[in-house]
Structure 1
Amino acid sequence: MTKDKLLPTFYSLPEDLVWTELAPGNRRAVLSARPELMLVAFSFEKGAVGALHSHPHTQVSYVAEGAFLVTVDDVTKTLRAGSSFMVAPNLLHGVLALERGLLIDTFTPCRDDFISR
């Protein structure tokens, strides 16, 4: 990420967010980003899936709303609002929204693939 790709320092939700549809009932909005760290919102409708995947970034996720079935490295747990989970680099992970929900994820380093070109 170059300096010209840095996102604004402040956001006023929701009017400043740019949502990207990922799959039916699943969308993402980058909240803040710097080369070393980023903050991303993921919105899910009930039954929507965040497919199993892995990436070289460390990820910490906070369940801001709803309930999710979360799988990290072959361990699956139900997490509700106020819970969080951490994903070490390259671990397989994914979620299923048990009800409408919102995850707030941090990634280090920045997920350049999430930044609009």
Structure 2
Amino acid sequence: MGCRPAFPSLTPPGAVIRFGAAKEASTMRIAAMTGFSSLNMLPEEKVTEKITRRILVGEKEMMVFWKMQPGAHAALHSHPHEQMFWIIKGKMDFRLGNERRICGPGDLGVIPGGVEHEAWFPEETEVVDIFSPVREDMFTGQDHYLRRG
């Protein structure tokens, strides 16, 4: 269904708005999305037996909705992108640089670009990540740290 409007719509009744029919994200060949949708409308990708994700891509950032099964692991890695996370459900044992914490529902974090980090998921967990700029490695299968664990 998507979002309910906070203000009266300027779109005429019956008009068709195409979600995802937008320009390329920065210089990459990943189509940026515009408009409204819902999480269930985003395709779900099975990354491993224990990790699935849905990705929303804008021109300058992207949001990833993760579902992690018990025992999932995002191996130690770093990337130049700034990353923010929000734990929706479950627990994440997270290492950021030399600091390690157990994060639960409602917990947030900011990971500066270039800082090594790693995550373990002892139970079923849902996490939202926001990256800026868009991470093209997630669209080319080069996110090997996820596919190892």
Q: Same fold (TM over 0.5)?
A: yes
1:2 equivalent in alignment to 2:27: no
Please tell me the root mean square deviation across aligned C-alpha atoms, in Å.
1.9
1:104 equivalent in alignment to 2:119: no
Could you tell me the TM-score, scaled by structure 1's length?
0.86
Out of 93-102 and 56-65, give the one that drifted further: 93-102
CA contact (8 A) 1:68 1:97 kept: yes
Query: How far 1:115 moved relative to its partner?
Result: 4.1
Q: Distance in 2 between matches of 1:93 and 1:115?
A: 21
Ranges in structure 2 where 5+ consecutive residues have no aligned partner: 1-22, 141-149
Could you tell me the TM-score, scaled by structure 2's length?
0.69
Query: How far 1:22 moved relative to its partner?
Result: 2.2
User: For each residue in 1:30-73, what CA deviation from the matched residue of structure 2 results, as whole angstroms up to 9, or x when unmatched?
Assistant: 0x222311111111001111111111100000001101101111
Ranges in structure 1 where 5+ consecutive residues have no aligned partner: none
Could you say which structure has the higher strand fraction? 1
Q: If you compute each CA radius of gyration, which structure gives the higher value, 1 or 2?
A: 2
Query: How far 1:23 moved relative to its partner?
Result: 2.6
Query: Who is 2:58 aligned against?
Result: 34
Query: Who is 1:11 aligned against?
Result: 37
Equivalent residue pairs, number: 114
